[in-house]
Amino acid sequence: MIISRTPLRISFCGGGTDFEDYYKINGGEVISTTIDKYIYVGVNRMFGGGIRVRYTQNETVSSPEQLNHNIVRSALIMTGINRAIEVEITSDIPSQGSGLGSSSALCVGLLKALYRFKGYDIPADELAEKAVRLEVEILKAPIGIQDHYAAAYGGFNHLAFYPSGGVEVENLYRDGMGNKIKWLQDSTMLFYLHGRDSNEILREFKSGIKEKWETLDKQKSLVLPFKRWIHSFAKNPPEYVGKLISDSWLYKKEITPSATSPLIDQMFVDFMGRGALGGKLCGAGGGGFLMVLCEEKNQEDVIVSLKDCLHLKFNFERKGAEIIYAD
């Protein structure tokens, strides 16, 4: 029996520049952190042969090709496992349309468990690369590649995507510099609006992406100031980082208008009026989780303004995908 645990993530700025159509020409950058909410994948040898997969449905088949679950099907084929295996998937949060990178975390965690099942402890860089190949190249998901690297490596990172295809993961935790990351953790709130199918929003984003390069350039331009703020001893006012996050949301709406709605726009007016410093919808937008940056002294007022949304408490996570049980 093997169990993997893979963290979900939130990104602060740079989202969208991790799409191949953009970074292969211009290079992309994102700042994100993993959080202590996870996808769990259990893998066990199945007595008598066959394949059984348990998630929100149960499937029992004789070969991977017969599975309806496209990620599990493709992962089994990729790893060459074609019989006598049982896979069970659970999640700390609703996995459909959360905006926290759940599908990519599943790809990472599933491959981590399957390779361990085969006796191979796959390193983070190879794990992320294979997860990208699985979800983006094989399954043709209309997504970027930041989530796979966030889930595989874990931590508070600056992710750089180069036109050559290379990816650099820089952990932003440094000795003596953790105070601002700690402040961010204490000041970042998540609220669940509702699930949504993000694929249509993502397809809208990808459609005519070259016409959106100018706005994506602006999105990318937020990353360096954010990184400098983290590693500077200067005491910039809290509003400074709040504006960077809010600007990221404004650029996302400019690129993909369906990422928002009149109701969501009104929520932003409400929580900003209660003392919040900034905010954005996670992932593609349109629903899922809303991230609000707010100092602790004003958080109760923000919770009241968003009383119809579930408030999710969390902490930042420094570890990436890992095997938490193997017998």
Position 204 scores a pLDDT of 67
DSSP 128-143: HHHHHIIIIIIS--S-
pLDDT at 298 over 80: yes
**Is 252 in contact with 215 (CB distance < 8 Å)?**
no
Q: What confidence tens digit (pLDDT) does each residue in 157-166 have?
A: 999 999 999 9
pLDDT at 211 over 90: no
Question: Which tops the pLDDT comparison, 204 or 193?
Answer: 193
Position 233 scores a pLDDT of 67
Question: What does the pLDDT average to over 57-69?
Answer: 96
- Give Cα 38 to chain centroid, integer Å: 11
- Could you give the CA distance from residue 114 to residue 125 in angstroms, rounded to a whole number? 16
- Could you give the CA distance from residue 17 to residue 185 in angstroms, rounded to a whole number? 24
Position 173 scores a pLDDT of 87
Position 234 scores a pLDDT of 67
CATH code of domain 2-173+317-326: 3.30.230.10
Specify the pTM.
Answer: 0.94
Position 212 scores a pLDDT of 82
- Could you give the CA distance from residue 25 to residue 147 in angstroms, rounded to a whole number? 20
Position 179 scores a pLDDT of 82
pLDDT at 125 over 60: yes
**Is 172 in contact with 226 (CB distance < 8 Å)?**
no
- Residue range 178-315 in CATH 3.40.50.740: no
- Give Cα 64 to chain centroid, integer Å: 27
Question: Which tops the pLDDT comparison, 206 or 253?
Answer: 253
pLDDT at 246 over 70: yes
Residue 311 pLDDT class (50, 70, 90 cuts): very high
Residue 17 pLDDT class (50, 70, 90 cuts): very high
Looking at this protein, which amino acid is placed at residue 114? L
Position 43 scores a pLDDT of 98
- Could you give the CA distance from residue 110 to residue 44 in angstroms, rounded to a whole number? 12
Residue 33 pLDDT class (50, 70, 90 cuts): very high
| Among candidate residues 161, 162, 185, the one with its CA nearest the CA of residue 173 | 185
- Could you give the CA distance from residue 271 to residue 323 in angstroms, rounded to a whole number? 39
- Could you give the CA distance from residue 166 to residue 157 in angstroms, rounded to a whole number? 16
Q: Provide the mean pLDDT of the chain.
A: 92
**What is each CA distance from 288 to 59, 206, 235, 259, 310, in whole angstroms?**
27, 20, 33, 11, 11
Asked, colleague to colleague, whether 2-173+317-326 and 178-315 share their fold, the answer is no
3-state DSSP helix/strand/coil percent for the chain, to nearest 5? Answer: 45, 25, 30
pLDDT at 177 over 80: no
Question: What does the pLDDT average to over 316-325?
Answer: 97
| Rg of the chain over all Cα atoms, to the nearest angstrom | 20
Give the start-to-end residue ranges of the domains of the chain: 2-173+317-326, 178-315
Question: What does the pLDDT average to over 167-185?
Answer: 84
Q: What confidence tens digit (pLDDT) does each residue in 70-94 have?
A: 999 999 999 999 999 999 999 999 8
**Is 32 in contact with 9 (CB distance < 8 Å)?**
yes
Locus of tokens 């350039």 = 217
Position 176 scores a pLDDT of 53
